[in-house]
Amino acid sequence: MKRGLRDLSLVFLILLFIAACVTTPVTQREALILIPFEQEVALGDQAYREMTGTAKESADPRLRELVLRVGRRIAAASDMPDLNWEFKLIESDTQNAFALPGGKVAVYTGILKVAENEAGLATVLGHEVAHAVARHGAQRISQQMLLQGGLTVAAVTLSNQRNRNWIMPALGLGATVGITLPFSRMNESEADEIGIVYMARAGYDPRESVRFWQRFNQLKGSGQPPEFLSTHPSDETRITRLKELLPKAMDEYQKTNPKFGEGDLFLRPADLFGDVIPPKVQGGIK
Ligand SMILES: [Zn+2]
């Protein structure tokens, strides 16, 4: 009888596992998610309000509009176009960007100098949109729930400090607001893989993603460590991998209409911040 019960609970667990498995778009990977989608979206929303509430939004309307425009195009080309997407440009030298569940994305002005043009920015935003669509935050929360054992769905709220302490890092945010933590190597590679397809579908030349990472590497070589995803995978591996993914992304790009190529060049590469030059269309078909 006891044995029977144990078997039964095992069957139940397996059923739960199957029921909670989702398939990520583009990569078709099976992933485990134990919290309801609405709860995930609510968490993302709350964490986003906190993060952006204390941060200073960029005062440059043209750059803000640029982030919004590229972000919206990518979101529309993604597998979750109907999320309540938000794209904010935060004034900070940090070379970073982050995405929270439910389509809440923030880009720091520091990364714009590496992005250089719309397609470079689309590389960043494609990657971030992919994190949200692949539900990486909810996957990490689910892993924590299993690891900590006996955590119920009800415990997954930011309202008490003990829960905040593991939920914020699971969402990619540090305990201190303003710090973003890297996702796992697998999540990062997957976001690259999905992101390059999304940028192509949105009409941006995916070849720019390779150049973006090369610029990023150069910056690293200059002794100024960039923070955006700098931990993993190694940038060399990342560039090699992106080159492998290019044919598939180029296929998507060929099918896409309209094409924007590299889009507008928005910052003079040489002198980094401040000097915004007028938009110039580069080899794109508007
Ligand atoms: Zn990432």
Q: pLDDT tens digit string along 247-270?
A: 999 999 999 999 999 998 876 544
In a domain? residue 152: yes
Active site residue 116: no
Distance 188 CA to ligand 1 centre (A): 5
Give the residue-averaged pLDDT of 204-233. 74
Q: What is the Cβ-side half-sphere exposure of residue 26, based on CA atoms within 13 angstroms?
A: 29
Q: What are phi and psi of 174, to 5 degrees?
A: -80, 170
For the chain, what is the domain count? Answer: 1
Q: Picking from 33-47, 62-76, 81-95, 165-179, which range would have the lowest pLDDT averaged per residue?
A: 165-179
Facing residues of 106 across strands? Answer: 88, 98
pLDDT band (50, 70, 90) for residue 121: very high
Q: Check whether 286 has a pLDDT greater than 50.
A: no
What is the rounded average pLDDT for all residues in the chain?
A: 84
Q: Count CA within 13 A, CB hemisphere, residue 43.
A: 31
Q: Supply the pTM of this predicted model.
A: 0.84
Tokens of 220: 């690293």
Q: By C-alpha distance, which of 105, 143, 93, 119 is closest to 196?
A: 119
Measured in Å, residue 5 CA sits from the centre of ligand 1 at 42
Residue 8 lies in a domain: no
Give percent helix, percent strand, percent coil of the chain, each to the nearest 5: 55, 10, 35
Does any domain span residue 17? no
Tell me the one-letter amino acid at 193.
E
In three-state secondary structure terms, 152 is: coil
Domain hosting 253: range is 35-281
CA of 204 to the centre of ligand 1 (A): 19
CA–CA dist 252, 158 (Å, integer): 39
* CA of residue 84 to ligand 1 center, whole Å: 20
User: Is 113 contained in some domain?
Assistant: yes
pLDDT of res. 283: 35
Whole-angstrom Cα distance, residue 204 to residue 183? 25
Q: What's the pLDDT score for residue 275?
A: 45
Residue 246 CA, ligand 1 centroid: distance in Å: 19
Is residue 258 one of the residues assigned to a domain? yes
Residue 146 domain-assigned?
A: yes
3-state class of 281 per DSSP?
A: strand
Does 187 score more than 50 pLDDT?
A: yes
> Nearest CA to 116 among 229, 220, 265?
265
pLDDT over 50 at 272, yes or no: no
Query: pLDDT digits over 3-35, tens only?
Result: 666 666 666 666 566 567 888 888 888 888 999
Rounded to 5 degrees, what angle do the CA atoms 211, 215, 67 make? 80
Q: What's the rounded Cα separation, in Å, for the pair 1 and 171?
A: 42
Does residue 24 lie within any of the structural domains?
Answer: no
Judge whether 29 lies within some domain. Answer: no
| Catalytic position from the list 128, 188, 193, 252 | 128
Query: Is the pLDDT score of 226 beyond 80?
Result: no
pLDDT greater than 60 at residue 227 = no
